[in-house]
Every structure is written in C-alpha cells, then in structure tokens.
Amino acid sequence: MKSKEDNSGKRIKEEKQVETADDMWVLRLYVAGQTPKALTAFANLKKICEEQLEGKYSIEVIDLLKNPQLGADDQILALPTLVRKLPVPVRKIIGDLSNTERVLVGLDLLPGS
C-alpha cells in the first residue's frame, strides 16, 4: 500500500515496528474520516496491539474518504474495518473494536468461542 503516509498531523497515524517478516503482523484499519467510531477503533486497536503484539506489528490506516478506490481491494463495506493482512489467512474485524475479547478471537489471538 503506497498511501502509508497520512498527511497533516492526524492523530490517526501508522505505527510501525520493524521486525523479521516471519512473525510480522500487518494490520490495516479502514476508516472514513475522523469519526468518533474511527478514533475509538484506532485507540482500541493500538491498545490491543501494545498488549498482545508488542514490537511485531504494523498498523496502516486507510481513510476511504481520501482514497475511495482502495475500498474495493479488501472488500470493505462496514466501517471501521480492521483487516489482518498477515499472517494469513486474512481476517476482518468490523466495528469500533470495543469488545476486546471479540477482537482477540477475530485476530486468532484467543481460541474462538
């Protein structure tokens, strides 16, 4: 994804911690502008990642209002949507990620319910 750099001092920013490619988690968060839901989702995601995947994750935030053509690639309908690109298989988690347990299940960090 080329649009990794979001312009102008947004609070939504990508976070990157370089690690070996093998166990690297590539996460992508799709949002549409800085809506409360988007901000909540980003905050929740950040928190979860710090707790669970410290040092081996990257978060890419894609604002569809700015790049609407990117929505089709990951079949985005609902916003916000978190896409786990790596490790495969691709997983999608929709919503503001407020239900931490569901997020962890969705990311395969917890055994499914």
Partner 1 sequence: MKKTEKKTLPKSPTGIQGFDEITGGGLPTGRPTLICGGAGCGKTLFGMEFLVRGATQFNEPGVFMSFEETNEELIKNVASLGFDLEDLVKHKKIALDHVHIERSEIEETGEYDLEGLFIRLGYAIDSIGAKRVVLDTIESLFAGLPNQLILRAELRRLFRWLKEKGVTAIITGERGEEMLTRQGLEEYVSDCVIMLDHRVTEQTSTRRIRVVKYRGSMHGTNEYPFLIDENGFSVLPVTSLGLKHIVSNERISSGITALDKMLEGKGYYLGSTVLVSGTAGVGKTSIAAHFAEAACKRGERVLFFCFEESPNQLMRNMLSVGIKLETWVQKGLLQFQATRPTFYGLEMHLAVTHKVVNEFKPQVVILDPINTFIIGEKEFEVKTMLMRIVDFLKANQITALFTSLTLGESALESSDVGISSLIDTWLLLRDIELNGERNRGMYVLKSRGMANSNQIREFILTNHGVELREVYVGANGVLTGSARIAQEANENAEVLTRKQDVERKKREIERKRKALEAQIAALFATFESEEAEAIKMIETEQDTIKRLEQDKIEMAESRKAGIENTTTNKLKK
Q: Are 94 and 80 in contact (CB under 8 A)?
A: yes
Q: Six-digit token pair at 29?
A: 């968060």
Quick check: 92 binds partner 1 (CB under 8 A)?
yes
Spatial contact of 45 and 12, defined as CB atoms under 8 Å apart = no
Specify the pairing of strand 81-86 against strand 91-94: antiparallel
Candidate segments 10-18, 21-29, 53-61, 68-76, binder of partner 1 by CB under 8 A:
68-76
Q: Confirm or reject binding of residue 4 to partner 1 (CB under 8 A).
A: no
# of chain residues touching partner 1 (CB under 8 A): 33
What φ, ψ does residue 95 adopt, rounded to 5°?
105, 180
Among 64, 86, 109, 110, contact with partner 1 (rule: CB under 8 A): 64
Q: Which residues bind partner 1 (CB under 8 A)?
A: 30, 32, 37, 40-41, 64-65, 68-69, 71-72, 75-81, 89-99, 102-103, 105-106
